[in-house]
């Protein structure tokens, strides 16, 4: 799997290092004037537009400088633009000759853009290395990249090698690395300890369902709990998905991957919180023991849940995990889940919706998201739709038969299981990039966790 050892380096800039100039597009002409008439003539000869990257040659054909244009604030990912050149430049040593507006984001974009998932294939050739002389910038960038790459690697790993047990192993490795306590409730123990919905969703698979529980930090610190949907693969259950909809279902544990990436960032930073991570890890499979449409299941919270659709399984496993999280009254409770296609129809793959009644949290998150180039969009917990999640045979219905507001009703369903937490926030992430962008290739993606890292450390500083 990809790491960051070959993408970023510290220390002084070698004389042989190639300079990279990062400028906003409307300032590029002024930079070319400074670089001299040859640079200007070369840009004209290429017919390069204001947003094109320029690789400027010397008299012997060597690269003498690189000019990268980035958009102004209207592009939420603009400050990560360096990633596009990081995966196209030849092997060599590079440095930033002009200080970017956000040095950490520039270095972060470089590392994220150069990411390669190499568990099953080898990539030929070397890779360019960016020298980051500022030790604080380098350290902070690496801390963030470790969390991003952890999430991407977990999502990109196919379900044959990333089942419930492997999700548990990844969480256990992270806990061990940071001295966190770790427990896991597996198989029929879920019934004995009061997690019937997690058990019901995972019982059809030969790979046992489990609830992963990791705790880190001082007991008397503010309590932050992260809950991540860990559906290792989702067939849809007896409400079987069509094959085209099943192709990306290895990413249905994207919520778990993202909370583990966020936990890595927070623990690396020594955040002043008592951090708890809960992951219901299951495979929604088809067998004679699968739960059925029309079944009425009990939940840890005491609500009976009518199964309107077995393909709405994520909110079921989250419900039991959220109930457990809520029992200790956390100061901040965040859940992340690849929960609904409706969220993608509404906002597309790059802009996850989030839901909360805490306006202060929402405002702070928006500021952090902009500063970290890690966007999301607040959607309402629209109370008139509350009745839509009421059941007929059971108290709740996991899949209301309405063709509208699917992401909102899923959030409202989850909200029924959160009563005591001081602030609760639900993120309906996609966890996937359907095409390459400057800051990353097609594949698994970490979403919102850099913004949440900044928010949590700011909120509890």
What's the CATH architecture for 8-133?
A: 3-Layer(aba) Sandwich (3.40)
The pLDDT value given to residue 51 = 79
CA distance 209 to 305: 19
- For 343-393, the pLDDT digits (tens) are 999 999 999 999 999 999 999 999 999 999 999 999 999 999 999 999 999
Q: Which of 3.40.50.300, 3.40.50.12280, 3.10.580.10, 3.40.630.10 is the CATH number of 145-459?
A: 3.40.630.10
- Predicted confidence (pLDDT) per residue in 431-448, tens digit: 999 999 999 999 999 999
Amino acid 100: pLDDT: 84
Percent of the chain with pLDDT over 70: 98
Average confidence (pLDDT) over 53-69: 89
Share of the chain above pLDDT 90, in %: 84
Do β-strands 443-444 and 274-284 pair in parallel, antiparallel, or remain unpaired? unpaired
Give the per-residue pLDDT at 69: 83
Q: How far is CA 165 from CA 225, 234, 360, 449, in A?
A: 22, 16, 38, 24
Structure tokens at 108: 């972060």
Q: Which run of H or E residues covers position 360?
A: helix 359-372
CB atoms under 10 Å from CB of 417, counted, come to: 24
CA dihedral in degrees (344, 347, 348, 353; nearest 10)? -70
pTM value > 0.85: yes
pLDDT at 1: 65
Has residue 193 got a pLDDT over 80? yes
From residue 79, how far is each of 18, 50, 106 by CA, in Å? 20, 16, 6
For the chain, domain boundaries: 8-133, 145-459
Q: Phi and psi (nearest 5°) for 231?
A: -85, 105
pLDDT tens-digit map of 273-309: 999 999 999 999 999 999 999 999 999 999 999 999 9
- 82 and 113 Cβ atoms separated by less than 8 Å: yes
**Low-confidence winner among 1-5, 409-413, 417-421 (lowest mean pLDDT):** 1-5
Whether residue 136 has pLDDT greater than 90: yes
Rounded CA-CA distance 396/388 in Å is 9
Q: Cβ contacts of residue 226 below 8 Å, gap of 6+?
A: 259, 262, 263, 275, 276, 277, 278, 334, 335, 336
User: Alpha helix (H) ranges present in 63-195?
Assistant: 83-86, 103-113, 135-156, 164-178, 189-192
| CA–CA dist 338, 249 (Å, integer) | 10
Q: What is the DSSP string of 304-347?
A: EEE-S-TT--HHHHHHHHHHHHHHT--SEEEEEE---HHHHHHH
pLDDT of residue 50: 77
| Res 7 pLDDT > 90 | no
Q: Which residues are catalytic?
A: 241, 315
Q: What are the pLDDT digits (tens) for 93-112? A: 999 998 888 999 999 999 99
Both structure tokens of 146: 């470790």
Distance of alpha carbon 183 from its chain centroid, rounded?
A: 23
Are the beta carbons of 96 and 130 closer than 8 angstroms? yes
pLDDT at site 29: 87
> What mean pLDDT comes out for the span 43-62?
86
Mean pLDDT of the chain: 95
Structure confidence at residue 373 (pLDDT): 96
């Amino acid at each position: 799997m990809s790491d960051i050892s070959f993408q970023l380096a510290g220390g002084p800039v070698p004389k042989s290092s190639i300079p990279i100039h990062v400028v906003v597009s409307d300032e590029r002409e002024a930079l070319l004037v400074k670089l001299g008439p040859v640079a200007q003539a070369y840009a004209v000869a290429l017919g390069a537009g204001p947003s094109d990257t320029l690789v400027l040659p010397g008299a012997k054909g060597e690269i003498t400088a690189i000019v990268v244009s980035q958009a102004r604030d209207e592009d939420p990912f603009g400050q990560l633009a360096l990633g596009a050149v990081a995966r196209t430049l030849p092997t060599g040593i590079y440095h930033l000759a002009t200080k970017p507006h956000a040095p950490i984001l520039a270095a972060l974009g470089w590392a994220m853009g150069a990411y390669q998932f190499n568990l099953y294939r080898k990539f030929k050739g070397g890779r360019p290395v960016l020298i980051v002389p500022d030790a604080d910038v380098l350290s902070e960038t690496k801390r963030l990249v470790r969390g991003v790459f952890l999430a991407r690697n977990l999502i990109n790993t196919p379900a044959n090698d990333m089942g419930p047990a492997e999700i548990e192993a990844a969480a256990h490795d992270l806990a061990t690395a940071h001295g966190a306590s770790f427990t896991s409730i597996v198989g029929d123990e879920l019934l004995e300890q009061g997690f019937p919905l997690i058990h019901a969703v995972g019982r059809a698979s030969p790979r046992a369902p489990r609830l992963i529980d990791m705790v880190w930090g001082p007991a008397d610190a503010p309590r932050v709990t992260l809950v991540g949907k860990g559906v290792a693969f989702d067939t849809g259950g007896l409400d079987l998905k069509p094959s085209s909809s099943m192709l990306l279902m290895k990413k249905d544990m994207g919520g778990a991957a993202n909370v583990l990436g966020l936990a890595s960032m927070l623990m690396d930073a020594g955040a002043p919180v008592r951090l708890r991570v809960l992951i219901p890890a299951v495979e929604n499979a088809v067998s004679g023991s699968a739960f059925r449409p029309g079944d009425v299941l009990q939940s840890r919270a005491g609500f009976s849940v009518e199964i309107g659709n077995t393909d709405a399984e994520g909110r079921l496993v989250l419900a039991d995990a959220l109930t457990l999280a809520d029992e200790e009254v956390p100061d901040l409770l965040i859940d992340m889940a690849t929960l609904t296609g409706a969220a993608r129809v509404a906002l597309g793959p790059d802009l996850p919706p989030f839901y909360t009644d805490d306006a202060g949290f929402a405002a702070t998150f928006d500021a952090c998201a902009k500063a970290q180039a890690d966007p999301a969009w607040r959607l309402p917990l629209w109370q008139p739709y509350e009745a839509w999640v009421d059941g007929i045979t059971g108290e709740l219905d996991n899949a209301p038969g309405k063709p509208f507001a699917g992401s909102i009703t899923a959030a409202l369903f989850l909200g029924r299981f959160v009563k005591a937490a001081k602030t609760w926030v639900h993120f309906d992430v996609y966890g996937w990039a359907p095409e390459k962008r400057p800051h990353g290739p097609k594949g698994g993606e970490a979403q919102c966790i850099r913004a949440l890292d900044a928010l949590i450390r700011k909120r509890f500083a």
